[in-house]
Structure formats: structure tokens, C-alpha cells
Amino acid sequence: MRDLYVLDGRITYERPSGAETGASGWIVPGLVDAHCHIGLGRDGAVDQETAEAQAIADRDAGALLLRDAGSAADTRWVQSRDDLPRLIRAGRHIGRTKRYMRNYADEVEPDGLAEAVERQARSGDGWVKLVGDWIDRAEGDLKPSFPAESFAEAIKVAHDNDARVTAHCFGREVLPGLIEAGIDCIEHGTGLTPDLVEAMAEQGTALVPTVAQLEIFPELAAAAAPKFPTYAATMEDLYARRRETIMSAYEAGVALYAGSDGAGDQLHGVLPTEVLAMHRLGLPADVVLSAASLARAGVARPQTPASPRATRPTSSSTTPTPSRTSASWPARLPSSCGGPSTPERRRGSGAPRGGTSPGRSCA
């Protein structure tokens, strides 16, 4: 532990003459919300005033760096505001035609996916967000949004355009192809299995589990059950296995990051709630605190990405403050999304579009 002093508005470790103790406790870096949606509301893009209120709520909850995970609004103006969190934009979600929430995504068919990825890669700040799976109403269950070969081509196009890729994934079926194709990050990841988390750990694919938002799965299942009972059963099963799934990723060495999924009916300014939810699930306190803070190290030093378990916070450690012009996660490396190239192993440690949605979902 070290004492901090404030002298003329600046923090110093040197005790000024006549210093008085004003408070005691812990000081942590500004938090990183690795999955939120500034400018997105229940029905799509929101006006600038609403988007500003969202960003302020996140800031006031301690999140000073936000990784946008898809927004229908142009929020580049946020990046010019010193009083708002730094924002890393991913452009719009890219989803299959009529198989995602209305007015959210750039909706395309498989033959248009690569072109859409290139378009959004150029629009964003180094990230592209895919809708990996969603309900297929003809099948009555979660299904991949695109064929595996289309996803693979899309990921290659993104990487060729110096962008990384993350994807909304609830079920299992979509995950093997995405991971094999070298995707950089998975959102939600409730369909992960032991073999898949092993593969993620080996190649540095990160996971943003959005633990608190998984609590809406029973609500989604109940709303869908009358028309889509198979989908409802799938969602109930994914929810029941959520702890086992996320803990298996942690134990395999997958880099975990905290994301609130703030958008639409989900509140902004709730990243601390997500951190607590991750801890209640069984993740150690230092891991969840790191998951909500250490991602920022990659912003200033993209050549040395850090995993929540590769670097431990100490009382004497300092984290560089990124310049506003360099707001991006680490450059594409074998260790993407801030994860280590060779992860530390810690074994044994300790809604459907079309009228059935209750108005909430994970984006």
C-alpha cells in the first residue's frame, strides 16, 4: 500500500508539508466497460441528448473507457468531449436480414457479409460486431446467422482492414466455426463447452460474459415459449449452465472482460453491478476487478496486451493514461482483445424478432 497526496490538484506520492489525511480506502483506475451501446435505444438509434445521458451515466459509475459493441447511431462526436468517457466504436451490428432486433443492425445475406464487414471496419475504431446467432423462426431455435464459411471470410476481411471482430453468441452451434476462423472476442458465450474454451485460450480469443444481463434469459424463454418452445428450452438450459460455462472459461485461461451490455431497456451506468455479478458467480475478486480495469493498459501500449490473469494490480503499479487520439484496444496480435498469447493455466481454481420478444435482450 502507498499513501497518495493531492497537491495543487495533482496526485503525488511525496508527502507535502502540513498534509492532512482526508480519507482512507482503495483507489482503482478508471473502469473499462467492454460491452456497451452508446446511442442505442429500444427502437434503434437515439438522439444526441439521450446518447449523452447514457455516456454520463457510464462515466458517473466509474467507466472512463467504453468499447462500443454496436450502435445504430453515429457517436463520433462523443470522442471530442473531454468530459465524457473515451469511446471505441464498432460501427453497427452486422446481422442476417430480419433475424435481429429491428433497426439495430446492418442486415445482409451471406453473400453481402464480407462487404458489410469492410464497410463497418472503415466506419469504426478497429472493431466489428457480428450477430453470431439469433432465433431462426423457421427452425424455432437459435441458429447461426451465417454459414461458417461466410463468417470465416468476414473475419479475414476485418483483419485485412486492421480491425478485430467480436460476435454476439448465445448458443453452441455458431461457436466452433468462429473460433476456428480466429475471431478475437466472444460476447455472452453461454454456449461455450470445455473444448471450445481450450481453443479460445490457446489462440487468445477473449470473452465478455455480460453476467448480469444473462438474468433476462428466463424472461426471454417465458415470452417465447408459446410459439417457440424449443428456443425457450434452449435459453433455459443455457441459463442453468451459465456458472459452469463461465467458470470453465476462467479455469482454461481465457481472458475475461467486464461488459454491462448497456443499451435499449438495459440501463447504463451499471458496470459495478456487472463486476459484482461476476464475483457472485464464483470468479475471484481480483480477477473481476482486473476484468473491469486492466483492458485500458492495451490502449496506451498496444504492443504489450495484458490479460486479467497475466498482470495483477498492486498498490505501486501505475497505468498509463491514453491520449484521446489513441483510443483503441491493442493492435491485432496473436493475443487479441488484450489476452496473452500463451494463457496462464489455472485448472481447478477456485429475443426473438417477430412479436415474441418481451422488449429486452442482450445486444
> Which pLDDT tens digit goes with each residue over 124-161?
998 999 999 999 999 999 999 999 999 999 999 999 99
> Which pLDDT tens digit goes with each residue over 267-293?
899 999 999 999 999 999 999 999 998
Within a domain: 147: yes
Q: What is the mean pLDDT of the chain?
A: 84
Within a domain: 52: yes
For residue 192, is pLDDT > 80? yes
Instruction: Confirm whether pTM is higher than 0.75.
Output: yes
Within a domain: 128: yes
More confident residue, 361 or 230: 230
Q: How many domains does the chain have?
A: 1
Within a domain: 344: no
Query: Can you give the pLDDT at residue 267?
Result: 87
Query: Can you give the pLDDT at residue 24?
Result: 83
More confident residue, 340 or 7: 7
For residue 346, is pLDDT > 80? no
Query: Can you give the pLDDT at residue 360?
Result: 52
Q: Check: CB of residue 258 under 8 Å from CB of residue 274.
A: yes
Within a domain: 17: no
Q: Check: CB of residue 311 under 8 Å from CB of residue 339.
A: no
Per-state percent for the chain, helix, strand, coil, to nearest 5: 35, 15, 50
Q: Check: CB of residue 209 under 8 Å from CB of residue 267.
A: no
Within a domain: 237: yes
Residue 255 dihedral angles phi and psi, to the nearest 5° = -70, 125
User: Of 34, 304, 352, nearest to 166 (Cα)?
Assistant: 34
Query: Can you give the pLDDT at residue 344?
Result: 40
Beta strand 133-136 with 141-144 is: antiparallel
Q: Check: CB of residue 210 under 8 Å from CB of residue 184.
A: no
- Residue 357 binned pLDDT confidence (cut-offs 50, 70, 90): very low
Beta strand 40-41 with 44-45 is: antiparallel
Q: What is the CATH number of the domain that holds 203?
A: 3.20.20.140
- Residue 361 binned pLDDT confidence (cut-offs 50, 70, 90): low
For residue 37, is pLDDT > 60? yes
Q: Check: CB of residue 84 under 8 Å from CB of residue 51.
A: no
For residue 351, is pLDDT > 60? no
Within a domain: 40: yes
**What residue numbers bound the domain in which 201 lies?**
31-338
Within a domain: 323: yes
